[in-house]
């Protein structure tokens, strides 16, 4: 069996060695063959499991999140909900449902969402009806393996002692902030991770590495701060972390985050 850990969202899944995993932007895909995770492939063994994280810093009830999720599926596949039921897995709680697709569509669709703290995971299992025997048992086992480990691999520490998620590296401070009068106390890092996933990462991993979080201001929030902010302390050392949202031209769907640390 192979193990997949999402270091930012903080979850783990175990999947068979003969399956593959591929990151598809903000979605993690699992399938038997690579073609199944490419757009428009509808041939044999096209079944897939898709997982997407989202940040619920407003702590919305799960029902409106579920309704939004179903609306996205309806737009994508022309799906309509038949009936839903409570769902529990890996210490998280949520809702699951078998979804009816248009009659001409020969695929089976199951979906569910789980909430743990401010993290919401969206799941989709989609496969040809005639391949139910191939996918149902495997998908059930993969989903049942869900857990939220106390510690995650691949957490990085910068030369200045700052926690960093995978894929983040230093950039010139002036490329992010103007008119900083004491630049020696500041550090900036760039990467391409979801701004919500970065908040989930620091709220979990900072305490794991001995940092106490004295203040957390989420993004987005009614306060209109414009970014997420965490004030942290460890062994008498105080830092402020700003997670600055940005979007890439041509991609209005995703909001990424840059990191700025200030030594207080």
217/174 same-domain check: yes
132/169 same-domain check: no
Considering the domain boundaries, does residue 51 fall inside one?
A: yes
126/25 same-domain check: yes
Tell me which residue of 61, 50, 62 sits closest to 24, measured CA to CA. Answer: 50
109/200 same-domain check: no
Considering the domain boundaries, does residue 151 fall inside one?
A: no
pTM of whole model > 0.85?
yes
Tell me which residue of 247, 232, 146, 237 sits closest to 195, measured CA to CA. Answer: 247
Q: CA 200 to CA 207: how far, in whole Å? A: 12
35/127 same-domain check: yes
Residue 242 confidence (pLDDT): 97
Residue 234 confidence (pLDDT): 95
Considering the domain boundaries, does residue 38 fall inside one?
A: yes
Considering the domain boundaries, does residue 150 fall inside one?
A: no
Number of domains in the chain: 2
118/163 same-domain check: no
* pLDDT by position in tens, the chain (length 264): 999 999 999 999 999 999 999 999 899 999 999 999 998 898 999 999 999 999 999 999 999 999 888 888 777 767 666 678 999 999 999 999 988 777 787 888 899 999 999 999 999 999 999 998 889 999 999 999 999 998 888 888 888 888 999 999 999 999 988 888 888 899 999 999 999 999 999 999 999 999 999 999 999 887 778 999 999 999 999 999 999 999 887 766 789 999 999 998
Three-state SS at 217: strand
Residue 132, both tokens: 């139910």
Residue 253 confidence (pLDDT): 76
Considering the domain boundaries, does residue 249 fall inside one?
A: yes
Strands 107-116 and 92-100 come out as antiparallel
Considering the domain boundaries, does residue 232 fall inside one?
A: yes
Residue 151 confidence (pLDDT): 84
Residue 79 confidence (pLDDT): 64
Three-state SS at 22: strand
Check which CATH number belongs to the domain holding 49 and give it. 3.40.1000.10
On whether the CB atoms of residues 216 and 202 are closer than 8 A, the answer is no
Domain of residue 186 covers 156-263
DSSP 57: T
Q: Is 136 exposed, middle or buried (0-12, 13-18, 19+ CB in 10 A)?
A: middle
81/192 same-domain check: no
- State which of 98, 120, 144 marks the end of a domain: 144
Considering the domain boundaries, does residue 231 fall inside one?
A: yes
26/135 same-domain check: yes
- State which of 144, 169, 192 marks the end of a domain: 144
111/236 same-domain check: no
30/133 same-domain check: yes
Residue appearing with tokens 């897939």 = 48
Residue 82 confidence (pLDDT): 65
Residue 225 confidence (pLDDT): 84
Provide DSSP, 26-39.
TEEEEESSGGGGST
Q: CA 215 to CA 224: how far, in whole Å? A: 16
121/180 same-domain check: no
171/136 same-domain check: no
- State which of 86, 115, 144 marks the end of a domain: 144
Considering the domain boundaries, does residue 185 fall inside one?
A: yes
Check which CATH number belongs to the domain holding 245 and give it. 3.30.310
């Amino acid at each position: 069996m192979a193990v997949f850990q999402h270091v930012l969202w903080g979850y783990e899944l175990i999947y068979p060695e003969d399956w593959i995993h591929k990151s598809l932007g903000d979605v993690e895909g699992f399938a038997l063959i690579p073609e199944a995770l490419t757009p428009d492939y509808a041939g044999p063994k096209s079944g897939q499991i898709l997982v997407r994280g989202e940040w619920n810093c407003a702590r919305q009830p799960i029902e409106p999140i579920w309704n939004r999720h179903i609306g996205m599926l309806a737009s994508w596949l022309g799906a309509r909900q038949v009936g839903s039921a409570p769902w529990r897995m890996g210490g998280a709680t949520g809702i699951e449902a078998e979804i009816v697709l248009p009659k001409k569509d020969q695929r089976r669709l199951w979906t569910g969402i789980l909430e743990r703290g401010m993290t919401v995971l969206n799941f989709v299992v989609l496969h040809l009806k005639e391949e139910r025997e191939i996918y149902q048992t495997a998908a059930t086992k993969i989903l049942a393996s869900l857990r939220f480990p106390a510690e995650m691999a691949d957490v990085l520490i910068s030369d200045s002692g700052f926690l960093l998620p995978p894929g983040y590296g230093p950039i010139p401070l002036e490329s992010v902030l103007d008119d900083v009068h004491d630049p020696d106390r500041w550090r900036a890092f760039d990467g391409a991770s979801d701004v919500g996933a970065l908040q989930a990462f620091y709220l979990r991993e900072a305490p794991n590495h001995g940092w106490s979080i004295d203040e957390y201001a989420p993004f987005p929030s009614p306060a209109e701060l414009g970014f997420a902010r965490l004030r942290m302390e460890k062994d008498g050392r105080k830092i402020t972390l700003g997670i600055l949202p940005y979007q890439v031209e041509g991609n209005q769907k995703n909001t990424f985050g840059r990191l700025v640390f200030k030594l207080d």
